[in-house]
Structure 1
């Protein structure tokens, strides 16, 4: 008897090809940056025909969009897990910083800069402009809970505060990469964010 919802052999092959292309594209982006990445090198590393890349990813930006979706989901899950045992908003914001810094280490400086630039890009594919942002939602939920506990200003808009915090974090990481005092600056950023949301 067949197992329900089991992907067909054809669908399995399609997904495997997509994953090979994704891995090869990320490796190439790490080396060259997205703009200078060579699609020929990507398809050669993945062992597929040139047109196969564009079947799965209409543009190189779509590879980054897929990576963004996956990484945001992963970071949000880790943050929710952390928040399940930690109710201090300072610790939760500091953990958000730590998780994003971990992403920077995994992606490398070149790809991380492209990854963050995608958030502010004027060329972001229009269909992707309003995608979900699970990290923003996770941080906003924790700010809302802090408001309920009396640890944050009850008038604060939790979603907006989460957006301001994360966009500021991304901007800081983009502009202070390699600075010797980046860590102290990020600690001060968390403290400043908390002061801005403090209960009156």
Structure 2
């Protein structure tokens, strides 16, 4: 009989295997058989722990989205609780850095997050996984408040627009762009210094938020 510890370990192995395979091949190209083989589990385990491949994809997304948003909110709360008004750069850093730092934790995250962004914001994307909607709403409200403190006169509609544009900049930065690699004569080709790239993302978003 499977113990609770065995079940937890199996679930984590499935998530680890799915994450690595999704990063390398994309969501649709990976079969459940590939995931279970890599995880040394069986298809029944996927059904038991997640219910379906789509829910497994959601679980991988939630696995990262929740801690990223928790860290965002922690940083934003620290800014909003100060007597001193936050600067635009401080707000942008609090909003953007948690994702960037998580991407740098493991090699596969850059490719994985690029695919997450494409899945959530690309053609045919309908919505966020329902499991993370309440947290994203709470985080977004904090971002809007921080934007408005940093840029007096910014309306709520403008704040949400600029938050969306910041997401778009990050998404584009994560995507490999073969045409631009040719144009830049390889200067934006992999392996790229991600610290440099993320600093440029922040610089660009700060300029846009001030606009």
**TM-score, normalized by length of structure 2?**
0.66
Partner of 2:76: 83
Map 1:127-142 onto structure 2 (within 5 A).
128=129, 132=133, 134-135=135-136, 137-142=138-143
Q: Structure 1 64/175 Cα, relative in aligned 2: closer, same or farther at 3 Å?
A: same
> What is aligned with 1:169?
170
Tell me: CA distance 1:29–1:189, structure 2 relative to 1, closer, same or farther (3 Å).
same
* C-alpha distance 110-183 of structure 1, shift in aligned 2 (>3 A): closer
**CA separation of 1:195/1:88 partners in 2, compared to 1, >3 Å: closer, same or farther?**
closer
Alpha-carbon contact 1:104-1:112 (below 8 Å) kept: yes
User: Of 30, 33, 38, which aligns to 1:40?
Assistant: 33
TM-score (norm 1): 0.69
1:155 to 2:148 alignment: no
Q: CA RMSD in A?
A: 3.6
Which deviates further from its counterpart, 51-60 or 172-181? 172-181
Q: Counterpart in 2 of 1:3? A: none
**CA pair 150-185 structure 1, distance change in 2 beyond 3 A:** closer
1:73 corresponds to 2:66: yes
Aligned length: 187
Alpha-carbon distance in structure 2 between the residues aligned to 1:154 and 1:126: 26
Contact conserved, 2:68 with 2:98, CA < 8 A, in 1?
yes
Question: After superposition, what is the alpha-carbon deviation per residue over 1:32-77, rounded to whole angstroms, capped at 9, x for unaligned?
Answer: 4333334323212333223332443455443332122222211111
